[in-house]
């Protein structure tokens, strides 16, 4: 089994009295596409800021352990060295709209001390890889959202990072641009042996990750591959609505020996082979059910399963 490329141990961070991260511990393996899934307010943005060295953790530790080094780097003491290992793509565009795609990459390279033919060759490689060679002299303000995201990716990978950090990478992209972005990320992972970390609140993005950390109110509540996480849900998911939820809940509990969970204005039941049970359910609760739906578990169902509440935004963190 490979050694982790990033290890997080008992990480905590607060903003005054509000805890954004609480006792977070996990490890990320080389070449993984690892996602942090949670609604706004779950702590994933604070974690992104810590991992990208923008803020220092108040307690706990984060170590980077790339195979090219014979010793781990601590985020508290080795920030400058860590910055040489990572590429960062922010949620908000970081491109200069008054510069061309090529000029944005060149200025970014200068910040990292790249010059001359080496920088030019790297820019040409990135523009070619991201299908931007024929748009290199276009001002980024004239590019579509999908093309600007490609320039952001090219910029993030310009310096040969071992790890790419992406904050809500699908923000502002249409479905076709999202598909293209994921194709490019998979290509970079396979070509460069890249480890990719991303934050997201979108289930489609989360389903594409190798592993996920599901976060809620600053805590890690589940971690695993999307299929493994869905298996934690006890079978299919039945969702019921009713104008008299207490009466319906009593019938399900007393007559059918079920344990329905009240989630906002619905009752939710996890049951293997749920479709076979629907006729008995409707007959037993005749007149009380307004609507019923059955489906295979989704990652949102996993979130409800481990937190007892729906996936919805809170305050930013």
Alpha helices, DSSP H only, in the chain? Answer: 44-51, 79-83, 101-111, 116-129, 145-157, 175-192, 203-207, 226-231, 245-254, 278-284, 299-307
Say whether pLDDT at 89 is over 90: yes
- Supply the pLDDT for residue 264: 85
- Assess whether 195 and 77 both reside in one domain: yes
- Assess whether 187 and 262 both reside in one domain: no
- Assess whether 165 and 248 both reside in one domain: no
Q: Predicted confidence band at 41 (pLDDT cuts at 50, 70, 90)?
A: confident
Give me the percent of the chain exceeding a pLDDT of 90: 75
**With b meaning 16 or more CB within 10 Å and e meaning fewer, what string describes 22-32?**
bebebbbebeb
- Assess whether 168 and 285 both reside in one domain: no
Is residue 256 included in any domain, yes or no?
Answer: yes
Is residue 50 included in any domain, yes or no?
Answer: yes
- Supply the pLDDT for residue 71: 84
- Supply the pLDDT for residue 313: 59
Domain carrying residue 278: 234-296
- Supply the pLDDT for residue 317: 54
* pLDDT tens digit sequence for 60-71: 999 999 877 778
For 120, phi then psi, to 5°, come to -60, -45
Is residue 307 included in any domain, yes or no?
Answer: no
Give me the percent of the chain exceeding a pLDDT of 70: 98
- Supply the pLDDT for residue 3: 86
- Assess whether 40 and 72 both reside in one domain: yes
Is residue 317 included in any domain, yes or no?
Answer: no
* pLDDT tens digit sequence for 128-166: 999 999 999 999 999 998 899 899 999 999 999 999 999
How far is 287 from 174, CA to CA, in rounded Å? 43
Is residue 87 included in any domain, yes or no?
Answer: yes
Report the 10 Å Cβ neighbour count for 35.
26
- Assess whether 151 and 263 both reside in one domain: no
- Supply the pLDDT for residue 170: 87
How far is 130 from 149, CA to CA, in rounded Å? 10
Is residue 88 included in any domain, yes or no?
Answer: yes
Is residue 259 included in any domain, yes or no?
Answer: yes
- Assess whether 59 and 138 both reside in one domain: yes
The count of domains in the chain is: 2
For residue 52, give the CATH number of its domain: 3.40.50.300
Domain boundary among the residues 181, 200, 223 is at 223
- Which residues share a beta bridge with 14? 19
- Assess whether 62 and 28 both reside in one domain: yes
Pair 82, 53: CB distance under 8 Å:
yes
Say whether pLDDT at 293 is over 90: yes
- Assess whether 117 and 219 both reside in one domain: yes
The token duo for 247 is 């009466």
For residue 285, give the CATH number of its domain: 3.30.70.260
* pLDDT tens digit sequence for 254-267: 999 999 999 889 99
Global pTM reads 0.88
Helix (H) or strand (E) holding 221: strand 219-224
Domain boundary among the residues 223, 242, 277 is at 223
Q: Summarize the confidence of residues 27-42 as an average pLDDT.
A: 94
Is residue 313 included in any domain, yes or no?
Answer: no
How far is 274 from 292, CA to CA, in rounded Å? 11
Range with the lowest mean pLDDT among 134-148, 208-222, 300-314? 300-314
- Assess whether 180 and 55 both reside in one domain: yes
- Assess whether 208 and 256 both reside in one domain: no
């Amino acid at each position: 089994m490979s050694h982790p490329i990033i290890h997080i141990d008992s990480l905590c961070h607060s903003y005054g009295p509000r805890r954004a991260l609480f006792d977070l511990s996990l490890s990320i393996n080389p070449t993984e596409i690892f996602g942090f899934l949670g609604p706004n307010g779950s702590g994933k943005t604070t974690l992104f800021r810590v991992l990208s060295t923008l803020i220092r953790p108040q307690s706990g530790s984060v170590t980077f352990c790339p195979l090219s080094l014979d010793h781990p780097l601590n985020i508290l003491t080795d920030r400058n060295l860590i910055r040489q290992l990572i590429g960062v793509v922010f949620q908000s565009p970081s491109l200069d709209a008054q510069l061309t795609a090529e000029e944005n990459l060149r200025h970014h390279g200068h910040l990292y001390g790249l010059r001359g033919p080496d920088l030019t060759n790297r820019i040409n490689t990135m523009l070619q890889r991201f299908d931007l060679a024929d748009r290199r002299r276009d001002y980024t303000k004239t590019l579509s959202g999908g093309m600007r995201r490609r320039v952001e990716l090219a910029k993030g990978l310009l310096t040969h990072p071992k790890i790419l950090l992406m904050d809500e990478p699908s923000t502002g992209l249409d479905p076709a641009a999202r598909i293209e972005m994921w194709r490019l990320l998979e290509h970079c992972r396979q070509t460069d042996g890249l480890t990719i970390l991303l934050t997201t609140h979108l289930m489609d993005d989360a389903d594409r990750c190798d592993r996920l950390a599901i976060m809620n109110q600053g805590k890690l509540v589940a971690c695993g591959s999307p299929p493994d996480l869905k298996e934690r849900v006890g079978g299919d998911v039945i969702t019921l609505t009713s104008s008299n939820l207490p009466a319906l809940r009593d019938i399900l509990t007393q007559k059918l020996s079920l344990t329905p969970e009240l989630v906002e204005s619905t009752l939710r039941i996890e049951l293997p082979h749920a479709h076979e049970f629907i006729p008995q359910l409707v007959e037993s609760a005749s007149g009380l059910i307004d609507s019923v739906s059955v489906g295979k578990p989704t990652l949102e169902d996993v979130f409800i399963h481990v937190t007892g509440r729906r996936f919805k935004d809170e305050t930013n963190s």
